[in-house]
Structure 1
């Protein structure tokens, strides 16, 4: 490709190259001192749906008819769904739900860990800034868990996935074990003794059953094609067992063991306090990430006839 520029060397320039019927505009920073062409931005046009990466190694650049440098531009691009870990299913398939469940199981780990090529943020770990519980009530201990990182969503087991294409609803059931790493601040009274402590902590949520419903609508995307858009959601949960551990409680092992014992005796009450906020954070993160994906993949390619 030949690119002619009027700007003086050493500044950002723009050019366009064509592959088949598609073209890509490149914003390039030309650094003659180091003889490098640095790609700073890429935008797809024409039949490009998504650019995976661009490699520059041979490319003829002119400035006022003078050859400045030579490099070659190679682009890998994808059309439509393009991600090999996502398998489409026909919406007319009588076994649509079975096909979708198999596809979702195969793609879940990659989806939860994020996909930079699609700008999908990772969901594993899931971050929740703060959770507060009172033990056994506000007159007792106040326990604040901070900087909570929930690990395990990438290993979640999908049990059911059902599509109601007429009502535009998706139902799914899943089971997951979550390990939470966080910090704690503890204050209040244990019996009649005032205590204050902070440090590292952990929570294990064993066999957490999630029941999720997603309502969607059909919208026309910037590409002129029909896409799904999530408009409402609901989540219900049930936890088989929760195990709490606070480290370095007042530097006193006897008190620490007593407080940890109390926490684990009252795990159901604690989960009832923090469960709704955790599940809300979970479903909002999933919906946001899923929304990014659905905005990129048309309905006819995600679920063709």
Structure 2
């Protein structure tokens, strides 16, 4: 889902020890001197080309893998339900697709708006006790949350950072919103393995998935955005603006 933001400006991939100006074979830098529509179309193409590579991580630049994304522990405690996810990870970011892109680069205020959509899943260890609406739920074990058609929109400003290597982009004050079409839960060992109770609970939880996701989604999406932004800024810190965008005048 969200990994597309991590490559919005990853128009090239460089690594320590590679000569300056090196471009991998799958990248063609975009020219800011072109009409804005052509430039944006070029960036879209580079996102699609770069995404599978970037999400695997760039070890030489200290950019971590973005698929899966390790998540902090998640705790839900309210409305009669106590649910904790530990050892959690989000999978599927590398398969997300760009649905919208807007860029303002080379202006006084530089911004971008990016929307992407995909199917993703969270795997974790869980402990749950309480009720989902009127239905009791209790258990602990392995869990998987399959999310269908998550669409995320990210808006951010760009600032510039100067160091001995030159001028770099940096993402600042990112904001986001999202929508999920549907979700399916898989909890192993509910009610100590009682299949009848487990099946009934799964059916009810999956029919009322939105109540659970209203509590679960915000911390998950927030962590994903934070991880992606951190990876982008790590990349930017090792790549100057002229390397990323042709015809850019600071």
- Between the aligned partners of 1:270 and 1:188, the Cα distance in structure 2 is 12
CA, structure 1 residues 189+218, in 2 after alignment: closer, same or farther (shift >3 Å)? Answer: closer
- The aligned residue for residue 55 of structure 2 is 112
- Between the aligned partners of 1:144 and 1:119, the Cα distance in structure 2 is 31
Deviation at 1:272, TM superposition (A): 1.4
**Structure 2 counterpart of 1:93, from 14, 34, 42:** 34
- C-alpha contact 1:157 1:176 (8 A) present in aligned 2: yes
- C-alpha contact 1:86 1:104 (8 A) present in aligned 2: no
- C-alpha contact 1:81 1:301 (8 A) present in aligned 2: no
Deviation at 1:292, TM superposition (A): 0.9
- Between the aligned partners of 1:81 and 1:172, the Cα distance in structure 2 is 27
Deviation at 1:282, TM superposition (A): 1.0
Helix, strand or coil: the match of 1:288?
helix
CA, structure 1 residues 81+266, in 2 after alignment: closer, same or farther (shift >3 Å)? Answer: farther
Deviation at 1:193, TM superposition (A): 9.5
- Between the aligned partners of 1:255 and 1:82, the Cα distance in structure 2 is 57
- Between the aligned partners of 2:231 and 2:135, the Cα distance in structure 1 is 46
Helix, strand or coil: the match of 2:16?
strand
2:199 counterpart of 1:257 = yes
Helix, strand or coil: the match of 1:51?
coil
Deviation at 1:111, TM superposition (A): 0.8
CA, structure 1 residues 304+150, in 2 after alignment: closer, same or farther (shift >3 Å)? Answer: same
* Higher strand proportion (structure 1 or 2): 1
**Which residues of structure 2 form unaligned runs of 5+?**
1-13
2:183 counterpart of 1:242 = yes
Deviation at 1:81, TM superposition (A): 5.5
Deviation at 1:86, TM superposition (A): 3.9
After TM superposition, which residue ranges in structure 1, 4 or more long, deviate above 4 angstroms?
Answer: 189-196
Deviation at 1:80, TM superposition (A): 3.8
- Between the aligned partners of 2:189 and 2:208, the Cα distance in structure 1 is 20
CA, structure 1 residues 159+138, in 2 after alignment: closer, same or farther (shift >3 Å)? Answer: closer
- The aligned residue for residue 46 of structure 2 is 103
Deviations 1:91-118 (A, max 9, x none): 1211110000101111011111111122
Deviations 1:227-283 (A, max 9, x none): 111111011111111000111112211111122122112211111112111111111
**Structure 2 counterpart of 1:132, from 70, 75, 97:** 75
2:226 counterpart of 1:295 = no
- The aligned residue for residue 88 of structure 2 is 148
**Which residues of structure 1 form unaligned runs of 5+?**
1-48, 53-76
Larger displacement relative to structure 2 (102-111 or 82-91): 82-91
Q: TM-score, normalised to structure 2's length?
A: 0.84
2:223 counterpart of 1:281 = yes
**Structure 2 counterpart of 1:159, from 85, 95, 99:** 99
* Higher helix proportion (structure 1 or 2): 2
